[in-house]
Amino acid sequence: MHPTTDSPQPRTVGTVEVNGVRLGIEQFGNPADRLVLCAGGTTMLSWPDELCAALALGGRHVVRYDLRDSGASLTSDPESPAYTLRDLAADAAALARELDHRTAHLAGIGVSGMVAQVAALDHPDAFCALTLAGTRSVAPGPVDDDLPDHDEATMDRLFSGPMPDWSDREAVAAFAAKGAEILGDDPAAARAVAGRIWDRTPGTAPAVHMANQLGMVFAGLDCTPRWRERLAEITLPSLVVHGRRDPFFPVGNGEALAREIPGARLLVLDGASTAIPSASADDVATAMLALS
């Protein structure tokens, strides 16, 4: 059945203590239903409300959460994280087990797509399915020769301008909208999400900035050892979602993931860039619901 987002879904916001850390979460739907755990990339708001609602209407208990050092989750020193990629993967497994005694469908987007790959490899007993959106199979830094790297011209435009005043909500929202326009995402949607992230991030203005920029400093996080060579070990039903117009992780990265994970399905969103557009929420939800 094709899901629809016409009916509102029950939502609760809070935090959960797992794996020695506090993680901010938001829940959609009935906790008695099968769990779909959406790891933020980096904050939970990387997953559109419409997608979460569509999954819940499809009979799933949807929980999206903030990675460490983002949103409402534990904030320590994002510039010098005292944890590794594998710790973030362990967080995902611990949260899944805390929320439901059954295995969970794990979804990761962007940075958290890397976390989700490692979680599926290191903690396969915690999960029943895997969705990877807008991500790649190698850590930030020099990319493998067969994978397309960031579009250089787009990155130059994205990072050449001045940073905003991070204490000014409107300036931060405008900065996000400009970045979205450069990347080919919806500026209005990016502006709205940036404002919501600003509102829900505790701490001082620098914390508002740094706690939501883990993707920018992710190269400082220990991502060793490599995991790409282990992708053939993944036995979970898997879906790879990628925007056709993504200049940050070009679509060849998603195509490679779908080739290297046995039996993975590739869903390319022709009009999309780095974000999942609200208009694609039902299509993505239908593909995810088919996995588990």
Structural domain tally of the chain?
1
Answer whether residue 216 is part of any domain: yes
CA distance 287 to 268: 11
Answer whether residue 3 is part of any domain: no
Answer whether residue 157 is part of any domain: no
Residue 229 has phi, psi (to 5 degrees) of: -65, -10
Helix locations, 33-110, DSSP H: 49-57, 85-99
**Nearest CA among 48, 52, 54 for reference residue 1:** 54
**Nearest CA among 123, 66, 65 for reference residue 89:** 123
Answer whether residue 2 is part of any domain: no
CA distance 72 to 76: 12
Q: What pLDDT score was predicted for residue 71?
A: 84
Amino acid at 142: P
- Domain hosting 265: range is 11-149+205-289
CA distance 130 to 182: 30
Q: What pLDDT score was predicted for residue 11?
A: 84
Separation of CA 292 from chain center: 19
40-54: buried (b, 16+ CB within 10 Å) or exposed (e) per residue? bbbbbbbbbbbbbbb
Angle between helices 85-99 and 111-122 (to 10 degrees): 70
Answer whether residue 168 is part of any domain: no
- Sequence-separated (6 or more) residues with CB below 8 Å from residue 229: none
pTM (two decimals): 0.93
Residue in this structure with the two tokens 């740094």, named with its chain if needed: 210
Are the C-beta atoms of residues 292 and 127 closer than 8 Å to each other? no
CA distance 26 to 262: 31
Answer whether residue 190 is part of any domain: no
Question: Residue 288, SS3?
Answer: helix
Answer whether residue 6 is part of any domain: no
Answer whether residue 177 is part of any domain: no
CATH number, domain with residue 27: 3.40.50.1820
Tokens coding 235? 């036995």
Question: Residue 16, SS3?
Answer: strand
CA distances from 269 to 59, 121, 233, 277 (A): 24, 26, 27, 9
- Could you list the pLDDT tens digit for every one of the 292 residues in the chain? 455 545 456 688 999 999 999 999 999 999 999 999 999 988 899 999 999 999 999 999 999 999 988 888 887 776 677 889 999 999 999 999 999 999 999 999 999 999 999 999 999 999 999 999 999 999 988 899 999 999 999 999 999 999 888 888 999 899 999 999 999 999 999 999 999 988 888 664 444 444 445 444 455 688 889 999 999 999 999 999 999 999 999 999 999 999 999 999 999 999 999 999 999 999 999 999 999 8
